[in-house]
Structure 1
Amino acid sequence: MSAQPHKTREFTGKHMLFTIVGFFAVVIGVNVTMATLANTSWTGLVVENSYVASQQFNQKARDGRAQAALGWTGKLTIASGKVGYSLTDAFGKPVSLRAVKILFRHPAYEAEDKVVTLGADTGQAFSAQHTPKDGVWIVEIDADAGQAEPYRDVRRIMIAKGAML
């Protein structure tokens, strides 16, 4: 029997090059993936002054409970370049409105924010021509129904192809 010599494998420059390139490829790939996910999914909240917002929280909570006790339901429609809004009371009857103002706020930055004042179609339904860009929006609706404070309806919506999903 003849023993064949066992050939040892050397760690060469090529191996080192492949190791370094592989390491940096993984690091760069993870960084690009995380940056893309952060850029496309961040839904942060921008508050002008957190101290003032915290001071107003309890009053806003009381106002919200009083408004919820009314049992009113708002209907927001966005399609075909038109934004519409109407209110119904707890019994499903239309609530007469005087004016409706909608603030479209982009959750990530203020440059896209836009205030839209709706005009009366009837005493109960209001609409205006406006097509928000596709994406996530925070919609703040102030509907004047003749009470001391406007009816406030705040929603987070998604727009795709000019229509609300």
Structure 2
Amino acid sequence: MTTDTKKLFTFTGWHMLAIMLAFFGTIITVNFTMAYLATSSWSGLVVKNTYVASQQFNGKTAAIREMLATGIAGDLTVDAKGMRYRLTLPGNTPVVADAVTAHFKRPVGIAQDFELQLTPAGDGLYLAEMDVLAGSWIVEMQATKDGKMIMHEAKRVTVSGE
């Protein structure tokens, strides 16, 4: 009695080649996609020249210590219509500055970054009216008086889309 049995499937080298190409092709495609998204969505730039920034570090640290010793404090409020910034000394004494600037930066990307000059409204209050897009922002505040930086701080804020 003889029975002819047909082999249903034979795993060959071509099958192994297809599996290897599919496996490594998927990995390579994902890596290139992730690399493209990473480089297109964030500049990666923190400072333009790291060597120069490292040389200026001690001077900037001393200036910040001097500024903190004054006790000056800033209170920032940002909404979709604009911003309010109040500068005070301990005891709620208002601070008068010659110029107050706000640098709005997105945490990721530089395409929507902008700068505002605030106008004094008296009693240490500074205002700016501008449509601010919804989302997360890092707002870097700088106030100067007589050409000297009296306040420099950065705060992360979230503007609602309402």
TM-score by length of 1: 0.70
Q: In the alignment, is the contact (CA less than 8 A) between 2:89 and 2:95 conserved in 1? A: no
Q: Deviations over 1:93-119 (max 9, x none)?
A: 042323322223456666644321111
Contact 1:76–1:86, Cα closer than 8 Å, also in 2: yes
Name the count of aligned residue pairs.
159
Residue 67 (structure 1) shift: 0.8
Q: Distance in 2 between matches of 1:26 and 1:110?
A: 30
Check whether the contact 2:132–2:159 (CA below 8 A) recurs between aligned residues. no
* Mapped contact 1:140–1:152 kept (Cα < 8 A): no
Once residues 158 and 36 of structure 1 are traced to their aligned partners in structure 2, the CA distance between those partners, rounded to angstroms, is 25
- SS of equivalent residue, structure 2 residue 94: coil
Which structure 1 segments of 5+ residues have no match? none
Partner of 2:154 in structure 1?
155
TM-score, structure 2 length as denominator?
A: 0.71
> What letter is aligned with 1:100?
V
Provide the residue aligned with 2:58 in structure 1: 58
Cα distance in 2, alignment partners of residues 43 and 16 from structure 1: 39
Task: Give identity over the alignment, percent.
Answer: 24
> What are the ranges of 5 or more consecutive residues in structure 2 without an aligned counterpart?
none
The amino acid across from 1:80 in the alignment is A
Residues 134-164 of structure 1 show CA distances to partners (whole Å, capped at 9, x for unaligned) of 56544332224x566232323152544469x
Deviates more, 1:153-162 or 1:72-81: 153-162
2:135 and 2:160 in contact (8 A); partners too:
no
| RMSD over aligned Cα atoms | 3.7
1:127 Cα deviation from its structure 2 partner: 0.8
Measure the CA separation in 1 of the matches of 2:68 and 2:101. 20
Give the aligned residue type for 1:64. I
The equivalent residue for 1:128 is: 128
Q: Which moved more, 1:60-69 or 1:104-113?
A: 104-113
The residue type paired with residue 120 of structure 2 is: A
One-letter amino acid of the counterpart of residue 153, structure 1: H
Equivalence for 2:21: 20
Is 1:72 aligned to residue 66 of structure 2? no
Partner of 1:96: 95
Deviations 1:10-67 (A, max 9, x none): 32524422331232012212332354356556754032x4444333322221111011
Match of 2:86? 86
Query: Deviation above 6 Å: which 4+ runs of structure 1?
Result: none
Please state which structure has a larger fraction of its residues in strand. 2
In structure 1, give the amino acid aligned to 2:26: A
8 Å CA contact retained: 2:77, 2:85: yes
Q: Is the 8 A contact 1:89 1:95 kept in 2?
A: yes
Looking at structure 1, the residues matched to 143 and 157 of structure 2 have their Cα atoms a distance apart, in angstroms, of 21
Is contact 1:136–1:156 with CA below 8 Å preserved after alignment?
no
